[in-house]
């Protein structure tokens, strides 16, 4: 569907909470500037909310509870979806795309699991599907990955993409407090939801990792392909162990291009806590900020930093997409389509090369290191560094490994824990950012 | 000009030095992947170099010294310009655009001064003009400014956009050495050109500032609009004064939206050394890296970090643009056009609000601060902080001001220098990043 200069671009807004109300506000306040940039006025013609009577602040004639009808209305050009979740949003958007409406959405869960069918529907109708706000809020990230780096080979993406968990880990690092009390404090301050599961168990980050990996590696990756570990098991001991080694603990979404011994490529996509050196860009990203670090063959190292959530920041990303859709309608073009030509296999976590930090309380007797080192050797895991320290009747032993298959590292740790000379496994965590 | 799926996109390469040879290499090595992403093969059909006989490494049948003919050849769809400088490149590109060729260029000097006529020519022919590589090399920056933030109001852009000067200032900070010997060292290490004028005197950064300001504020800004000061006058005393105050010295390109007392908006565009707090993101960008910090009304604070120069990084940006042009040709769309609708006036430097750091050696007698403070007051400059320190027969006095018009600050410093009680003006530098 193309528009002549001057004809308004008509927007249906689905959902009008924190982000939606900011989108509506900015569309009104900046109407003139946006029209100049888009090449046509951009106007909201309908707002679907569950309970219209709960929104006295909105123009009443635009409100409806019937999203299913709004998305296929003849008067709508673009659907801006800010409801979240999978059903019934998936059906609405598919219906809208089939009816020739472009879609702008911030819905990470939907994109992570159903982008293929959404892209197919958009393609069949020749309309756009944009979703910059679905990952890292205001940070321009997906457009750079899809467009700026389209001529490069991305080899790795590592991101702090969940503000709640980064806030909690930063606070644990500052205060020395444990996970549970810090989570409670984050809830009190409004940095964690009443039900924090999606954040702290890594589901939110896993959806984002799936989206990032799909775009970076031109491969379909869904949330179920993502190895996921949250931060609930991160202890004050982990944090202090990291500090002792000049490292910080972060929950990262990691997407890597991995090549096996035969040169066959696959992708590893995972979310888990890691220790990264304090000298790494990502280590200094504190509080609720997001940051994504990208490595590409030609570009080298890049980092993108900014606010990952919040009404106005997320609205900024939504409006950027909306202007792109409008420009395409006015100019007769199309945004980027799905790029899944590489179709790389996803490597299971057990076969993914990782590095471990293992911190042990061990008996203060001769030969302990030899016993522990033998277990690593038995599993084919090469040790990069060891630190020993005496403490009264026990000693502390810290081991950092070279890269080895994750499963080998896991079984090494399991076996070490059973050694008589090992009193306690104090901290086990993967290490990133220094190979 | 639109292409059917499968028909190759034919590229004329102007210039084949460090960046051009990387572009040629990547186009060959990644031909399959690029074709999949672009929707059509992307092929070099001609390479214009000054001396074809000096390039035995290139396919001889593609080489020509006749760029003027190549850019209007019927067999060319896209011109990739990596020659640099204004003439004759400007004429070649205008001729190419008029002949219906899209242009991808890394030419900051040309874009800074002639983007208006280049955009007009592109518009008249309905073709694309992309120039991501012209600012901050590999960092995806112009696309985010032009597209991702198209729905937001950018209020400030501050960037380290020249690797040579950042390398020199970082080295001065590390070693305590002076400017001249550090520049010599940078030349020996290959971080500074034989004639470093364009870098150290800020011309390179000023071109980039003009481009950044144009895109950020939807206003035509040329290099001559940019207030420019280089780093040749930065002394070891400046660096150590900054250190004492917890600040670093950086050469920044600064683009600001400024509102006067009557609410009238203008833009300030300038390049000069500044002191910024070590806590600021930009203070930690060392060596030859680039980083650009952006503030926008809705998005808040953003930062983009990466390699600002070099063959492969710059080629990454060029190829991203080339894929965009190819996608547009295949899909029938257009990239963003010039956006100059805001047409804000450029504010003269003297009227631009800045903050100063002034470090003085003064007589160690009573009443000195009163005399100095009176001069500030006479010029309507409000003082934010003062530090005094005794040193034998002289004392050191450091003043940091609030925002005041730059001209008032300049004349304050001039008058203070003339006071009998002032032995020496040790360091004068603008302060950024903490208001």
pLDDT (average), residues B214-220: 97
CATH assignment of the domain containing A396: 3.30.70.260
pLDDT (average), residues B178-184: 96
Residue B283 and residue B179 in one domain: yes
Instruction: Give DSSP secondary structure letters for B366-388.
Output: TTHHHHHHHHHHHTTPPEEEEEE
Whether B342 is in a domain gets the answer no
Both tokens assigned to A194: 């009443």
Contact A150/B301, CB-based, under 8 Å?
no
Smallest Cβ–Cβ distance between B152 and the set A296, A303, A320 belongs to A320
Given a cut of 80, whether residue B393 has pLDDT beyond it is no
For residues B255 and B157, give the distance between their C-alpha atoms in angstroms, rounded to a whole number. Answer: 5
Given a cut of 70, whether residue A4 has pLDDT beyond it is no
Whether A264 is in a domain gets the answer yes
Given a cut of 60, whether residue B233 has pLDDT beyond it is yes
For residues A182 and B412, give the distance between their C-alpha atoms in angstroms, rounded to a whole number. Answer: 51
**In the prediction, which pLDDT does B256 show?**
97
- Region at A246 (left for phi over 0; alpha for psi -120 to 50; beta for the rest): left
Whether B346 is in a domain gets the answer no
CATH assignment of the domain containing B48: 3.40.50.720
**In the prediction, which pLDDT does B2 show?**
57
Residues of A in contact with B149 (CB under 8 A): 140, 316, 320
Task: Using the structure block, give the residue that is written with the tokens 């550090």.
Answer: B182
Q: Which are the catalytic amino acids of A?
A: 208
Identify the domain containing residue B301 by its residue range. Answer: 142-307
Smallest Cβ–Cβ distance between B299 and the set A151, A316, A323 belongs to A316
Residue A77 and residue A185 in one domain: no
Query: In B302-345, where does DSSP find H-type helix?
Result: 311-331
**B141 class by beta-carbon count within 10 Å (0-12 exposed, 13-18 middle, 19+ buried):** buried
Smallest Cβ–Cβ distance between B320 and the set A151, A284, A306 belongs to A151
Residue A158 and residue A270 in one domain: yes
b/e code A398-423 from CB counts within 10 Å (16+ = b): bbbbebbbbebbbbbbeebeebebbb
**A195 class by beta-carbon count within 10 Å (0-12 exposed, 13-18 middle, 19+ buried):** exposed
Active-site choice (B3, B101, B108, B208):
B208
Contact B36/A144, CB-based, under 8 Å?
no
Residues of A in contact with B298 (CB under 8 A): 22, 26, 138, 312-313, 315-316, 319
Residues of B in contact with A300 (CB under 8 A): 138, 306-307, 310, 312-313
Report the share of chain B in percent with pLDDT over 70.
Answer: 98
Whether A422 is in a domain gets the answer yes
**What is the per-residue pLDDT across A349-391, written as a single tens digit (0 to 9) for each?**
999 999 999 999 999 888 899 999 999 999 999 999 999 887 6
Contact B150/A300, CB-based, under 8 Å?
no
Contact A300/B318, CB-based, under 8 Å?
no
The pLDDT-based confidence of B207 (bands split at 50, 70, 90) is very high
Residue A301 and residue A380 in one domain: no
Given a cut of 60, whether residue A24 has pLDDT beyond it is yes
**In the prediction, which pLDDT does A366 show?**
86
User: Å from A324 to nearest chain B CA?
Assistant: 7
For residues B408 and B266, give the distance between their C-alpha atoms in angstroms, rounded to a whole number. Answer: 19
Given a cut of 70, whether residue A2 has pLDDT beyond it is no
Residue B71 and residue B178 in one domain: no
Contact B306/A303, CB-based, under 8 Å?
yes
**In the prediction, which pLDDT does A332 show?**
83
pLDDT (average), residues B92-121: 97
Are B81 and B106 in contact by the 8 Å Cβ rule? The answer is: yes
Residues of B in contact with A38 (CB under 8 A): 150
Residues of B in contact with A36 (CB under 8 A): 218, 339, 341-342
pTM comes to 0.95
For residues B194 and B200, give the distance between their C-alpha atoms in angstroms, rounded to a whole number. Answer: 12
Residue B59 and residue B161 in one domain: no
User: Å from B173 to nearest chain A CA?
Assistant: 18
Contact B305/A302, CB-based, under 8 Å?
yes
Specify the DSSP element, H or E, that contains A293.
strand A289-296
Given a cut of 70, whether residue B5 has pLDDT beyond it is no
Task: Using the structure block, give the residue that is written with the tokens 């205001």.
Answer: A138
Query: In A245-386, where does DSSP find H-type helix?
Result: 311-331, 368-378
Whether B164 is in a domain gets the answer yes
Report the share of chain A in percent with pLDDT over 70.
Answer: 98
Interface with chain A: mutation pick from B11, B20, B148, B317, highest number of A CBs within 10 Å: B148
**What is the per-residue pLDDT across B344-375, written as a single tens digit (0 to 9) for each?**
999 999 999 999 999 999 998 888 999 999 99
Contact B316/A299, CB-based, under 8 Å?
yes
Contact A312/B300, CB-based, under 8 Å?
yes
pLDDT (average), residues B381-409: 90
pLDDT (average), residues A324-329: 94
Smallest Cβ–Cβ distance between A305 and the set B149, B303, B328 belongs to B303
Domain boundary among B307, B341, B370: B307
The pLDDT-based confidence of B390 (bands split at 50, 70, 90) is confident
Whether B2 is in a domain gets the answer no
Q: Which of A162, A199, A111, A161 is nearest to A294 (CA)?
A: A161
* Structural domains in chain A (count): 3
Q: Which of A276, A219, A217 is nearest to A252 (CA)?
A: A276
Residue B18 and residue B87 in one domain: yes
For residues B142 and B116, give the distance between their C-alpha atoms in angstroms, rounded to a whole number. Answer: 16
**In the prediction, which pLDDT does A435 show?**
58
Smallest Cβ–Cβ distance between B324 and the set A34, A150, A322 belongs to A150
Q: If you average pLDDT over every residue of chain A, what do you get?
A: 94
Least confident of A26-40, A402-416, B328-342: B328-342
Given a cut of 70, whether residue B341 has pLDDT beyond it is yes
Q: Which of B333, B174, B166 is nearest to B253 (CA)?
A: B166
Given a cut of 70, whether residue A278 has pLDDT beyond it is yes
Contact A317/B26, CB-based, under 8 Å?
no
Contact A151/B284, CB-based, under 8 Å?
no
Classify B275 as helix, strand or coil: strand
Q: Which residues contact A152 (CB under 8 A, 6 or more apart)?
A: A296, A297, A298, A299, B26, B316, B319, B320
Chain A residue whose CA is closest to B317: A148
Whether B341 is in a domain gets the answer no
Residue B232 and residue B293 in one domain: yes
CB pairs under 8 A between A and B: 202
Residues of A in contact with B296 (CB under 8 A): 138, 316
Least confident of A74-83, B54-63, B316-325: B54-63
Instruction: Give DSSP secondary structure letters for B217-228.
Output: HTS---GGGSEE
How many residues in chain A? 435
User: Å from B418 to nearest chain A CA?
Assistant: 45
Given a cut of 90, whether residue B24 has pLDDT beyond it is yes
Task: Using the structure block, give the residue that is written with the tokens 């950064």.
Answer: B205
pLDDT (average), residues A277-305: 94
For helices B31-38 and B18-29, what crossing angle results, to 10°?
80
Contact A132/B139, CB-based, under 8 Å?
no
Query: In A64-107, where does DSSP find H-type helix?
Result: 67-70, 89-98
Residue B202 and residue B298 in one domain: yes
**In the prediction, which pLDDT does A66 show?**
97
Q: Which of B190, B107, B201, B166 is nearest to B289 (CA)?
A: B166
CA distances from B294 to B184, B278, B403 (A): 33, 18, 20
Interface with chain A: mutation pick from B150, B158, B265, B291, highest number of A CBs within 10 Å: B150
User: Å from A160 to nearest chain B CA?
Assistant: 14
Smallest Cβ–Cβ distance between B140 and the set A148, A300, A336 belongs to A148
CATH assignment of the domain containing B247: 3.30.360.10
Residue B168 and residue B79 in one domain: no
**In the prediction, which pLDDT does B435 show?**
59
Classify A115 as helix, strand or coil: helix
Contact A281/B315, CB-based, under 8 Å?
no
User: Å from A68 to nearest chain B CA?
Assistant: 27
Domain boundary among B296, B331, B366: B331
**In the prediction, which pLDDT does B3 show?**
64
User: Å from A282 to nearest chain B CA?
Assistant: 12
Residue B264 and residue B147 in one domain: yes
Whether B345 is in a domain gets the answer no
**What is the per-residue pLDDT across A87-134, written as a single tens digit (0 to 9) for each?**
999 999 999 999 999 999 999 999 999 999 999 999 999 999 999 999
Contact A301/B306, CB-based, under 8 Å?
yes
HSE-CB at B143 with a 13 A cutoff on CA atoms is: 26
Residue B44 and residue B184 in one domain: no
**In the prediction, which pLDDT does B287 show?**
86
Instruction: Give DSSP secondary structure letters for A170-204.
Output: HHHHHH---HHHHHHHHHHTTSS-SS-HHHHTSHH
Chain centre distance of CA A146: 16
Interface with chain B: mutation pick from A80, A132, A141, A150, highest number of B CBs within 10 Å: A150
Both tokens assigned to B240: 């150590």
**In the prediction, which pLDDT does B366 show?**
86
């Amino acid at each position: 569907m193309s528009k002549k200069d001057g004809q308004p671009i008509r927007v249906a807004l689905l959902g009008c909470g924190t982000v939606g109300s900011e989108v509506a506000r900015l569309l009104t306040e900046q109407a003139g500037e946006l029209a100049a940039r888009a090449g046509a006025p951009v106007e909201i013609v309908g707002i679907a909310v569950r309970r219209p009577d709960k929104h006295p602040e909105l123009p009443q004639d635009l409100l409806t509870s019937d999203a299913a009808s709004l998305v296929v209305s003849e008067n709508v050009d673009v659907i801006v979806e800010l409801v979240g979740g999978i059903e019934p949003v998936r059906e609405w958007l598919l219906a809208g795309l089939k009816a020739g409406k472009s879609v702008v959405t911030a819905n990470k869960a939907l994109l992570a699991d159903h982008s293929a069918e959404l892209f197919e529907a958009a393609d069949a109708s020749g309309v756009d599907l944009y979703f910059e706000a679905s990952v890292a809020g205001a940070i321009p990230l997906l457009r750079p990955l899809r467009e700026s780096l389209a001529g490069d080979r991305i080899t790795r993406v590592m991101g702090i993409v969940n503000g709640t968990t980064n806030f909690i880990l930063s606070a644990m690092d500052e205060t020395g407090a444990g996970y549970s009390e810090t989570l409670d404090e984050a809830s009190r301050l409004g940095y964690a939801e009443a039900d924090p599961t999606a954040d702290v168990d890594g589901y939110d980050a896993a959806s984002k990792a799936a989206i990032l990996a799909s775009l970076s590696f031109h491969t379909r990756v869904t949330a179920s392909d993502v190895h996921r570990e949250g931060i609930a098991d991160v202890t004050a001991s982990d944090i202090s162990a990291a500090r002792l080694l000049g490292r910080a603990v972060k929950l990262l979404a990691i997407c890597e291009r991995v090549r096996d011994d035969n040169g066959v490529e696959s992708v590893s996509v995972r979310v888990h806590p890691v220790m990264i050196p304090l000298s790494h860009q990502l280590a200094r990203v504190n509080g609720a900020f997001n940051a994504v670090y990208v490595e590409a063959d030609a570009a080298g190292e890049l980092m993108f930093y900014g606010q990952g959530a919040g009404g106005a920041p997320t609205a900024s990303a939504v409006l950027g997409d909306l202007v792109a859709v409008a420009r395409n309608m006015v100019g007769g073009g199309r945004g980027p389509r799905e790029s899944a030509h590489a179709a790389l296999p996803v490597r299971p976590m057990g076969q993914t090369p990782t590095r471990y930090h293992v911190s042990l309380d061990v008996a203060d007797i001769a030969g302990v290191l030899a016993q522990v080192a033998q277990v690593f050797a038995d599993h084919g895991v090469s040790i990069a560094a060891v630190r020993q320290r005496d403490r009264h009747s026990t000693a502390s032993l810290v081991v950092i490994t070279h890269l080895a298959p994750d499963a080998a590292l896991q079984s090494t740790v399991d076996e070490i824990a059973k050694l008589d000379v090992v009193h306690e496994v104090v901290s086990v965590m993967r290490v990133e950012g220094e190979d």
